[in-house]
Structure formats: structure tokens, C-alpha cells
């Protein structure tokens, strides 16, 4: 994922917010005199809030991987600041000095640029230029052998056994030579179906296409595919789960992708851990059976 733009925007926003916060916290009388409203405690409270906001932005920008939902709420905070500035000018313009009005507008303009640039950075972070769509994936290492874990992952109809957010999953419309169609229902009653488009035992992977045209499809996408892959690594295996989609509506792509990533990061690691536990239990059972046969 290309995170350069969103990282840069977050760092610049953190610097600007931090400097502004220091001025408000330690020079409230000076700021009040320039603006035309003398309220030291209010300015200091805002300054403290800006310093906390600045530290959070810096923490986001320096992580190994930017959390999209955190960059999203940073932009939401920026937009709220802009709206608050406009509202303040409407309500108290008669009390403000000319330089105060100019200063508030100038700060709001800078903050708006940060918010918009962070949203553009999110869009770029999730966009896949080669595929001309948006995408997200997670990697999760496991101590289980890849073949053993694939035996669990590759059982398409059983995913609900390991996913706490799913109420049911089943295979439909399987005929000779056909790839399966999986029907899923989550705990909120949302239902959707996925057509398996590739299933490769040798490479330990499968891909599905979500039937987005069906009535009641619960996700904001006009086209959506995904897949699982289990790879052998020296100390176990690694599971890769991925999605590609065209968000609906397109202009909300940064928001949709950030929320998708948030849901995936919160849900799928535990799904994979549950699968790993089952794979390890299966391996232990087979080992015990082989030992019993050897001693019989």
C-alpha cells in the first residue's frame, strides 16, 4: 500500500496542530487580544486538546502501517474544526477584530487542506493502479503446517464455524465440474452469496466473486472479489486474505475502504486463530492415532 501521501499529511497536520496548541496553551491572552475575544481558560482548553490531537496524529503517521480508520477520524476532526470556525464567525463576527477574522479563516483553510489531503492519501493507499480498483489484505502467521491449515481453510462451507460474526455458511448449486457457490449470513441477518472462481489444492488458495447484483447485498460495492491463500514458511505457515472492489458510491471510496479495513483487522485475525486451533487439534489427533497404531 502506498502510504506516503497520508503519512506526510498526518505529520504536517501534527506539526501545525502542535504549534497552534502551544500558542493557545501558553499565550492565551495574546491570542485573545489579536482575535478580539478574551477567554484564557477556553483557549487553554482548546490548546490542550490540540496537543493531544497532535500526538495522536504523530503516532498514526509513524506506525509501520497507517490505520485507515484513524486517518479517517483525523480528517473528520479537521472538517469539524472548519465547520466550527464558520459557525463561530457567523455568531460572533461583531466581536472579532479584522485580523481575528482573517486568522480564523486562514487557520480553517489550512486545516481543510490537511483534511482533504488525508482523504486523498487514504484513497491512494487503498487504490490498486494495475487492477484499477481498490483493495485490502491481511497476513497472519501461524505455527500450524500449511497443508494442515489449508485442510481447514479450504473447507468453503465451514467458515461460519470459525467466524464469530457469521451465523451460517453453506455450499449451494454444486454440480459435476462446477465450482461451488457459498451462501453466508451474518449475525445481523444480512445475507449474500459468493461464487468460487478458482480453487487450487496445489497452491492452497481459492478465490470468490461476490454476487453484488443480488437483492439485499449488504456491502457498498458494485463489484467485489476476494480470496484466501495459505503459504508454507520455515516456522509454520502464513495465511493471506484479500479483497478487491469497486466501492459504491465512488466518491466515498476512502471512507468505505477505511471502514472495511477496520472490520477486517478486528475480525479476521481471530477467525484465522480459530482455524489454526482446529488444524493443530487435528494434527494432534492424527499423531495420537498413528502412535496407537504403531504400539498395537
**What does 164-188 look like in DSSP terms, one character per residue?**
TTEEEEEEE---TTPPPEEEEEETT
**Are 288 and 152 found together in one domain?**
yes
Domain with 260 in it: 133-295
Same domain, 277 and 156: yes
pLDDT digits 0-9 by tens, 35-61: 988 889 999 999 999 999 999 999 999
Name the band, by pLDDT with cuts 50, 70 and 90, for residue 92: confident
Same domain membership, residue 116 and residue 153: no
| Same domain membership, residue 207 and residue 280 | yes
Q: Is the pLDDT of residue 87 over 70?
A: yes
85 in the same domain as 71:
yes
Residue 66 CA: distances (Å) to CA of 140, 203, 251: 17, 30, 21
**pLDDT reported for residue 288:** 41
Whether the pLDDT of residue 195 is over 50: the answer is yes
- Domain end among 97, 127, 157: 127
Distance, in Å, from the CA atom of 167 to the CA atom of 261, rounded to the nearest integer, reads 21
pTM score, two decimals?
0.87
Tens of pLDDT, residue by residue over 216-246, are: 999 999 999 999 999 999 999 999 999 999 9
What confidence tens digit (pLDDT) does each residue in 111-160 have? 999 999 999 999 999 999 999 999 999 999 999 999 999 999 999 999 99
Q: Determine what percent of the chain is predicted with pLDDT higher than 70.
A: 93
Residues 110 and 146 occupy one common structural domain: no
Q: Is pLDDT of 199 > 90?
A: yes
Indicate the angle between helix axes 28-35 and 98-126, nearest 10 degrees. 110
Same-domain pairing of 219 and 175: yes
Indicate whether 145 and 234 sit together in one domain: yes
* CATH number, domain with residue 249: 3.30.530.20
Same-domain pairing of 174 and 213: yes
**What span, in angstroms and rounded, lies between the C-alpha atoms of 69 and 257?**
9
Number of domains in the chain: 2
Amino acid at each position: 500500500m502506498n502510504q506516503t501521501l497520508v503519512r506526510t499529511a498526518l505529520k504536517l497536520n501534527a506539526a501545525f496542530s502542535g504549534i497552534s496548541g502551544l500558542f493557545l496553551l501558553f499565550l492565551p491572552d495574546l491570542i485573545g487580544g489579536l482575535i478580539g475575544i478574551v477567554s484564557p481558560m477556553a483557549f487553554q482548553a482548546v490548546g490542550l486538546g490540540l496537543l493531544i490531537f497532535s500526538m495522536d496524529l504523530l503516532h498514526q503517521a509513524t506506525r509501520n502501517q497507517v490505520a485507515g480508520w484513524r486517518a479517517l477520524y483525523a480528517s473528520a476532526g479537521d472538517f469539524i474544526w472548519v465547520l466550527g470556525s464558520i459557525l463561530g464567525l457567523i455568531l460572533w463576527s461583531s466581536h472579532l477584530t479584522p485580523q481575528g477574522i482573517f486568522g480564523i479563516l486562514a487557520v480553517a483553510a489550512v486545516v481543510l487542506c490537511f483534511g482533504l489531503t488525508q482523504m486523498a492519501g487514504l484513497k491512494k493507499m487503498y487504490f490498486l493502479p494495475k487492477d484499477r480498483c481498490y483493495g485490502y489484505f491481511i497476513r497472519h502467521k501461524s505455527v500450524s503446517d500449511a497443508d494442515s491449515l489449508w485442510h481447514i481453510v479450504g473447507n468453503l462451507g465451514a467458515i461460519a464455524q470459525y467466524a464469530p460474526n457469521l451465523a451460517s455458511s453453506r455450499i449451494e448449486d454444486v454440480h459435476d465440474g462446477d465450482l461451488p457457490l457459498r451462501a453466508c449470513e451474518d449475525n445481523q441477518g444480512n445475507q449474500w452469496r459468493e461464487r468460487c472462481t478458482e480453487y487450487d489444492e496445489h497452491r492452497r488458495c481459492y478465490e470468490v466473486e461476490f454476487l453484488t447484483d443480488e437483492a439485499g447485498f449488504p456491502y457498498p460495492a458494485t463489484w467485489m472479489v476476494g480470496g484466501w491463500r495459505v503459504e508454507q514458511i520455515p516456522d509454520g505457515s502464513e495465511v493471506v486474505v484479500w479483497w478487491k472492489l469497486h466501492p459504491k458510491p465512488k466518491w466515498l471510496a476512502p471512507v468505505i475502504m477505511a471502514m472495511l479495513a477496520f472490520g477486517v483487522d478486528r475480525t479476521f485475525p481471530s477467525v484465522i486463530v480459530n482455524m489454526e486451533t482446529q488444524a493443530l487439534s487435528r494434527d494432534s489427533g492424527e499423531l495420537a492415532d498413528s502412535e496407537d497404531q504403531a504400539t498395537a
